[in-house]
Structure 1
Amino acid sequence: MQKRRFGAAGGEVAVIGQGSWYIEHAARADAIAALRRGVDLGLTHIDTAEMYGSGEAETIIGEALKGRRDEIVIVSKVLPSNASKAGTKRACEASLKRLGTDRLDCYLLHWRGQYPLAETFAAFEELKRDGKILSWGVSNFDEDDLAEALSVAGSGKIACNQVLYHLEERAIEHAVIPWCEKHDVAVVAYSPFGHSGFPDAAGKGGKILAEIAKAHGASPRQVALAFLTRRLALFAIPKAAKLTHVEDNAKAGDLVLSAGDIQRLDDAFPLGRKPRGLPMI
């Protein structure tokens, strides 16, 4: 599994990780087995949030990865409604307790809310000084949000921006990815297979995916992940609550697409016009 620097403020992180949105809906034993197997295969970037299952996802992760803390990078998120200075610190403590750890590798503001960024970021910096978090970042931030965050925090503080990104939703390529690359901020793709379904093999895009996958001895989902992480700033966190899915995802970490492959996918899943607002789910 490839590892890359997680922006200016982060350490080395696996390119392909494991998401946990809705993981509490899977059979608990299956979810735990999948998380453990993923770590065995190098999927050591574990993403979660206090919102996911009202904390249940964090509890599952804590149970699954007990005794393996030093092998993994844990990222969690504070809800905007909790993102006051005091509220952020309380939320972090609660997440740490559910996860059974003394620190988060990265802590994110889940999306913008009523509290000023300066207040949330001040809490992040205090948590970092106290060793409760090692770095911090944001999620669902568009270019103008990122510019404001940079003006508040200063350079070299924002580790990552976690955003919606999959083959049929490439809006972040217009401005968000270029901004993040310019300012050394990692971009983490959530829902990298889409939220309402992966491209149908009967469609044009699905056929192209299948052809490229066959040429590489890979699966279409592996090709999709390789495309979404084709640039050094890009990471992806597919959720997988089944062993077979985790094993499939892990193989994408070493798949390198050719320039021709990337062009074919670019044509099959066109970027489209820049939307007025940043897509998010």
Structure 2
Amino acid sequence: MEKKLKLNDGTDMPKLGQGAWYMGENTSRHQEEIDALRLGVQSGMTLIDTAEMYGDGLSEVLVGEAIKEFRREDLFLVSKVYPHNAGRKNIFHSLKKSLERLDTPYLDLYLLHWRGGVPLSETVDCMEELKACGLIKNWGVSNFDTADMKELLSLPHGDQCRVNQVLYNLGSRGVEYDLLPYMRSKGIALMAYCPLAHDDRTRRTITNEPEIRSLSERLDITPEQLMLSFLLAQENVCAIPKASSPQHVRENADTLQIELGEEEMRILDSSFPAPTRKVFLDML
């Protein structure tokens, strides 16, 4: 079962996808990573997120190889442009190289990886040109906090932004204070990266919390599946966990069958409460 959310132009985007950060960099794991991505697509996780930064393009090459056996129209491909390449001088070439590495004629979504020295207005204009040329279906941003989003939406065509990709998980809920509500009010989707935490230590802190372990056991799911289910229960939010082994891919995909009720959400809120004041945006 593939759950989707609707972007503010009516486009359907999968609620659960696959992240490809660090993939493609270890040649000894090449086939295992290819198989994992393919299994993910076959299991309903048809959104794949990558970036020109990841392994200096090696991630895009790996994704391109993994998707060869699938119909392009059945996939939702996302890549990101470096901030220093997000202006008129470089963005057209950057996208061309990304498309070549992915071996695809277009991207479903092209994101500005984070803010840099190129004026936002210039990036927006370029994104709109790429869209008009049919090289991208939509564009968005990444690592933008509330003030950044307000500035973006004040620009001509800034309201064409469809997605903001930010770090968001059960243990890092700062976006819920003002960023996520603001984005919802504007119909802009949040794509959660590091949905299972940004390192093993942080993840263990969350998954070993007694209430989390108890609730996972009662629901007969893993703590990691509980973390993902928390995000999938959020309105206008999608998640892109990385999984480079078949077992983790299957566990992620099975999360699509899980529905959390009010009592489960109350326990999660109690164990890892959202902040009651503005905090800095977490990012990697």
Which of the five TM-score ranges fits, normalised by the shorter chain? over 0.9
The CA distance in 2 between the partners of 1:25 and 1:155, in whole Å, is 35
The reply to whether residue 120 of structure 1 matches residue 123 of structure 2 is yes
Match runs of 1:130-279 below 5 Å:
130-154=133-157, 156-197=159-200, 198-200=202-204, 206-279=209-282
Instruction: Give the alignment partner of residue 49 of structure 1, picking from 42, 51, 67.
Output: 51
- C-alpha contact (below 8 Å) 1:171/1:271 kept by paired residues: yes
Does the alignment pair 1:97 with 2:103? Answer: no
Question: Which residue does the alignment assign to 1:8?
Answer: 8
2:68 is matched with which residue: 56, 66, 76?
66
Mapped pair 1:36 → 2:38: yes
- TM-superposed deviation, 1:12: 1.3
Instruction: From the superposition, tell whether residues 204 and 89 of structure 1 become closer, same or farther in structure 2 (CA, over 3 Å).
Output: closer
**Offset from partner CA, 1:183-242 (integer Å, 9 cap, x none):** 0000011011111225437x7863222222222222111111010121220100000111
Unpaired runs of at least 5, structure 1: none
- Counting matched residue pairs gives 280
Between 64-73 and 127-136, the greater mean CA deviation after superposition? 64-73
Q: Distance in 2 between matches of 1:247 and 1:10?
A: 29
Among all aligned residue pairs of Structure 1 and Structure 2, give the percentage whose two residues are the same amino acid: 39
Is contact 1:33–1:64 with CA below 8 Å preserved after alignment? yes
2:20 aligns with 20
Contact 1:19 1:239 in 2 (8 A): yes
Q: Answer yes or no: is the 8 Å Cα contact 2:207–2:213 preserved in 1.
A: no
Aligned equivalents of 2:109 and 2:135: distance in 1? 10
**Are the equivalent residues in 1 in contact too, given 2:24–2:61 (CA < 8 A)?**
no
Query: Aligned-residue CA RMSD in angstroms?
Result: 1.7
Q: Using the alignment, how far apart are the partners of 2:6 and 2:93 within structure 1?
A: 26
CA distance in 2, matches of 1:275, 1:110: 23
Counterpart of 2:204, as a letter, is D
Q: CA deviation at 1:164?
A: 0.4
8 Å Cα contact 1:6/1:185 also seen in 2: no
Kindly indicate whether the alpha-carbon contact (under 8 Å) linking 2:15 and 2:232 is maintained by their aligned counterparts in 1.
yes
Q: Where in structure 2 are there 5+ consecutive unaligned residues?
A: none
Q: Is the 8 A contact 1:10 1:159 kept in 2?
A: no
Alignment TM-score, normalising by the size of structure 2: 0.93
